[in-house]
A and B are shown apart, each in its own frame.
Chain A
Amino acid sequence: MKMRIHSRIAWPFVLTLVLTLVVWLIALPLLEQSAYQKALTNNEPVDLSFVHNAAFLISLVGLIAGLSISLIHTNRYVDDLKTLTEAAKELGEGKYQEIDLLPMQNSLREMGELREALQKTARQIEDQIADLSKERAMLSAVLGQMTDGVLIADNSGRVQLLNKEAEKLFMVNERDALGRSVVEVMRHHRLVELWEETRNGPAKTITMEMGAMHKYLQVVGIPLGEDLPGRSMLLFQDLTQTHRLETVRRDFVSNISHELRTPMAGLKAISETLLDGALEDPVVARNFVLRMDSEVDNLTQMVNELLELSRIEAGRSNFDFQHIEPCQLIQKPAERMILQAERVGVTLSYDCPADLPLVFADPERISQVFINLIHNAIKFTLNGGRVHVTAFQDGQMVVFKVSDNGVGIAQKDITRIFERFYKADRARAGGGTGLGLSICRHIVEAHGGIIWAESVENSGSNFFFSIPVVYRNNHN
């Protein structure tokens, strides 16, 4: 190793050395001369012991002075060095934020450079860590907000990462799940099989229905390969809603085919009978044609209602909203239905409090809702029963109520009766299309209200729907 003595460290020592030498060179010849003169004058033998002593003393003083000056001088560098060492240690411990070195005065240039290098490193680390944590925060925000579940497992099948959506899906929390086996966390053999296949092979996608919650999932298994060797990731997409809509659509098509098939079959049977000879007998023929006519009416009604329903559902139907008194809404349809009720022995009555606020509604459409509801009430009420229509205010809504003391609706059906084609009691519903209540719901919802039913089997049903009060009235 090349030894270099730095001039700034060495100079105090060298200076004292030179000074001592100068003192030596000047003082000693003088002292010696005076010693010889003294000996000549006094005629004594030359006594040089004094000179020797002086030489020794000067050397000693020079040495001590030199040493102590260097000591004091280097001590300052050692202190600086200690500070820097401490700083380097802190950096190693990750306390990069605490490093703030004061500029060093009167120190070695190298020391200053070291200080600057250290400080620069600290700042760089700080920046890098800030970048990393920003990236991390961004990634975890993405993972947390993702609507897909994410699970990452290592080669031995331990769960390494699990996002919020996956927590929900498997009903676990991340803290409990991390480090546990994929079997314990996912609890489904098909998911475990997928994970095993992904671990040893290419990415793969499956769709499956999971457990008693009937979650319909699309799951993608992806080996993470080079980025994270031995790890694989499972992505879970919850398709339950889409699957449900698909089922509804399929049911709708099969329902509508079924609903159309019955009257069609009737028509076919009648026309075949007519062709087979019934045409020859005018009385019978007329009877058959009348039945055909009514079947065609039924079909037309169903097609019209379907069109109406799809128009309202698509939001393409025109509503003629106006400010209107709730009692006016009740009166017209109720009066219209009284005769029909009497014909089957049902008493239809209505009342309406006079102080109800104005509502914002399309009278024609609301009349349609009333006629549907009253019609249903009459149909499901036995001879001698009663149907009553009334209204009351509930906050910012006026609630209309059609009640009967008929056969009622089973609890299991009550939420489904507003679905298309849903018929609680197929035998009794007879001629209905199963669309009436569905249309009612859409009309009421288009008004910003809701429709619901309450019922006790064998003692009657109450149908309610709400219509918002006119805004102006809110301030009165």
Chain B
Amino acid sequence: MSRFTLDQEIKLVQDEMLLLGSLAEQAILNAVDALRRRDIAAAKSIYAEDQKINSKHFAIENHILIIFATQSPLARDLRILAAMLEIITELERIGDYAKGIAKVAMRLADDETPIPIREISTMADKATSMLHRALGAFVAEDLAAAYAIPREDDEVDELYITIYRKIVQNMIKNPETIDHTNQILWVIHNLERTADRVTNICERIVFIVSGELLELDSSDDEDLDD
């Protein structure tokens, strides 16, 4: 009986986590869309969404803690719950990144300076697609995907560097756009960090399946070599 309810409780938390993931994913996409359309109202609505993300984060955390206290989960169940506790924090952070982008969208709404929006959109699509698939891999306990998804982080990093070079060059040529460029740097930084958070999520999948805590981010080591 108690086994049955623990399984059910874990499934419930998992569904809640997926919903939180969906909120975070859509928040990033909406923020970039608000930036593209220079839409202040849309940017403001992301602030409200972030409130929702934060309170959902707390609700899930609470739910997990109650399960810890009442069901004393062991072994795999314990790992799954601990991993979810970690993942919801990552998702909440991603929500904050979306809010950061929305803030820039509001500031730049009246600025006519062109934004490299196509590249930024590609970056956002890439990062949110990684997030979507990572949470899917969590539910399916798909180890292969957990190892494969973090490798895509390199593509996001590459896009980051491409945009970075482009806008910094522009900033040097047109010093009056320094403020604007700084804002855009903030946007691409947030997107780059989003993809990094996804890597952390993938690490948790490996942890659930194998019980090992691994660093899946290979590019950081390369950065040190440079």
A173-225, CB < 8 A from B: 181, 183-184, 187-190, 192, 209, 211-214
What residues on A are CB-neighbors of B128 within 8 Å?
A: 211-212
Number of interface residues of B (CB under 8 A): 22
Report if B15 contacts A (CB, 8 A).
yes
B122-140, CB < 8 A from A: 124-126, 128-129, 132, 135-136, 139
Name the CB-closest residue of B to A172: B136
B15 touches A211 (CB 8 A): no
Report if A412 contacts B (CB, 8 A).
yes
Distance between Cα atoms of A211 and B126 in the complex (Å):
11
What residues on B are CB-neighbors of A188 within 8 Å?
A: 22, 26
B15 touches A181 (CB 8 A): yes
A212 touches B132 (CB 8 A): yes
Annotate A353-395 by CB proximity to B: 1 below 8 A, 0 otherwise.
Answer: 0000000000000000000000000000000000000000000
Name the CB-closest residue of B to A191: B22
Report if B46 contacts A (CB, 8 A).
no
Q: Given contacts A212-B125, A212-B126, A212-B128, is CB(A184)–CB(B22) below 8 Å? A: no
A181 touches B11 (CB 8 A): yes
Annotate A206-248 by CB proximity to B: 1 below 8 A, 0 otherwise.
Answer: 0001011110000000000000000000000000000000000
8 Å CB contact of B29 from A190, A211, A412? A211
B1-60, CB < 8 A from A: 11, 14-15, 18-19, 21-23, 25-26, 29, 33
8 Å CB contact of A183 from B18, B26, B124? B18
A189 touches B26 (CB 8 A): yes
What residues on B are CB-neighbors of A212 within 8 Å?
A: 25, 29, 124-126, 128-129, 132
A211 touches B11 (CB 8 A): no
Annotate A73-113 by CB proximity to B: 1 below 8 A, 0 otherwise.
Answer: 00000000000000000000000000000000000000000
Report if B173 contacts A (CB, 8 A).
no
What residues on B are CB-neighbors of A412 within 8 Å?
A: 118
Q: Given contacts A212-B29, A212-B125, A412-B118, is CB(A192)–CB(B132) below 8 Å? A: no
Distance between Cα atoms of A192 and B22 in the complex (Å):
10
Distance between Cα atoms of A190 and B27 in the complex (Å):
12
A28-51, CB < 8 A from B: none
Q: Shortest CB–CB separation between residue B122 and chain A, in angstroms?
A: 10
Distance between Cα atoms of A188 and B23 in the complex (Å):
8
